[in-house]
Structure 1
């Protein structure tokens, strides 16, 4: 089943020792609080270590740098969207037509990106191609590929899934100053064009 494949991509991380999990939770809570208060760019790793009451060495060993910390913060938030896709109510979850699920996903994904733009931008630009190596992007891409293939198996759905997701990237939207509503509407129109040859809904 296609959703079984998505479950493997979105599998939970390995279990941690209790003390390591506590430190991780303290650091992530501190980072989230400081980022909300001062913005991602306005917070240093030293400030996060002090707020979490952990040594700087612990912070850097666990997360490497601020982009690694951003990716870890995003992981928990992304899992909520993943669960909605895998087992939530339709149309985002199973048991809705592929084209309807695709539109619902694009709109939900755009809203998620809008709520976490600065964190996502940092994680995407940490190194060349970082966006496409992140496990969550692989899941989003595979989900879109599967939905496209159900309706148009004659097309190169792997490539087209990237094309539909590309305008939603935080890096592109920040560079072009596109609001999330415009990015989402464009991605939905592109998906409809791929599926039906027209850009407007019924």
Structure 2
């Protein structure tokens, strides 16, 4: 039994060392250019140990994002449950916050995307984070409809993914890096399109 406890402790220590090394190397040189081999070497662990913990760079980046995702979720939960804003106002805030999340974590999100099997977009939408985004937006759309802020004929299941689509990380990176568009300009256009399109007409 003592051996198993020690083994679990060693595993936790190795995980911390790997994540610490990855965070440092990514900050210094960028996510895209740092290899898994470099991370293992910097962490002082063998390649076998590294790949038992993280099968690829995408899994490593997902682990680095865990705390930031939890912070985002907690912030959103507190704001939505506060009940001081209308559902559409909250939806606007949520999309702005998601844009900030993309801007802050773009390279990590891109690495997670690149690691998905066959590069299929659907794989990115099966992860827990997208599931949470989807549930949050759907809930706000239903609340807005119930409170008369939108038309009464919303197809929430379809609209939820459409509302999130403009903030897909691939599109975000393209607009930021290839087109050179500033974040606030992108967000303003998205909010103008989404919120005006959803509002109830007289």
TM-score range, shorter chain: 0.7 to 0.9
Cα distance per residue 1:5-44 (max 9 Å; x no partner): xxxxxxxxxxx94332222121111111111110011101
- Say whether the 8 Å CA contact 2:40–2:50 is kept in structure 1: yes
TM-fit CA distance, 1:57? 0.9
TM-score after normalising by structure 1: 0.80
- Say whether the 8 Å CA contact 2:32–2:111 is kept in structure 1: no
Q: Which residue of 2 aligns with 1:27?
A: 18
Matched, 1:142 2:135: yes
Segments of 5+ residues of structure 1 without an aligned counterpart are 1-15
Matched, 1:110 2:99: yes
- Say whether the 8 Å CA contact 1:173–1:179 is kept in structure 2: no
Pair 122,197 (structure 1): closer, same or farther in 2 beyond 3 Å: farther
TM-fit CA distance, 1:93? 5.2
- Say whether the 8 Å CA contact 1:45–1:65 is kept in structure 2: yes
Q: Distance in 2 between matches of 1:166 and 1:181?
A: 17
TM-score after normalising by structure 2: 0.80
Structure 1: 4+ residue segments shifted above 6 A: none
Q: Rg larger in 1 or in 2?
A: 2
Q: Distance in 2 between matches of 1:171 and 1:97?
A: 30
TM-fit CA distance, 1:94? 3.3
Q: Distance in 2 between matches of 1:135 and 1:149?
A: 21
C-alpha RMSD of matched pairs (Å): 2.1
Q: Distance in 2 between matches of 1:157 and 1:190?
A: 16
The structure carrying a bigger helix percent of its residues is 2
- Say whether the 8 Å CA contact 1:125–1:131 is kept in structure 2: no
- Say whether the 8 Å CA contact 1:125–1:171 is kept in structure 2: no
Q: What is the number of residues matched between the two proteins?
A: 180
- Say whether the 8 Å CA contact 1:93–1:101 is kept in structure 2: no
Q: Which residue of 2 aligns with 1:6?
A: none
Q: Which residue of 2 aligns with 1:8?
A: none
- Say whether the 8 Å CA contact 1:99–1:151 is kept in structure 2: yes
- Say whether the 8 Å CA contact 1:145–1:161 is kept in structure 2: yes
Matches within 5 A, 1:114-129: 114-127=103-116, 128-129=120-121
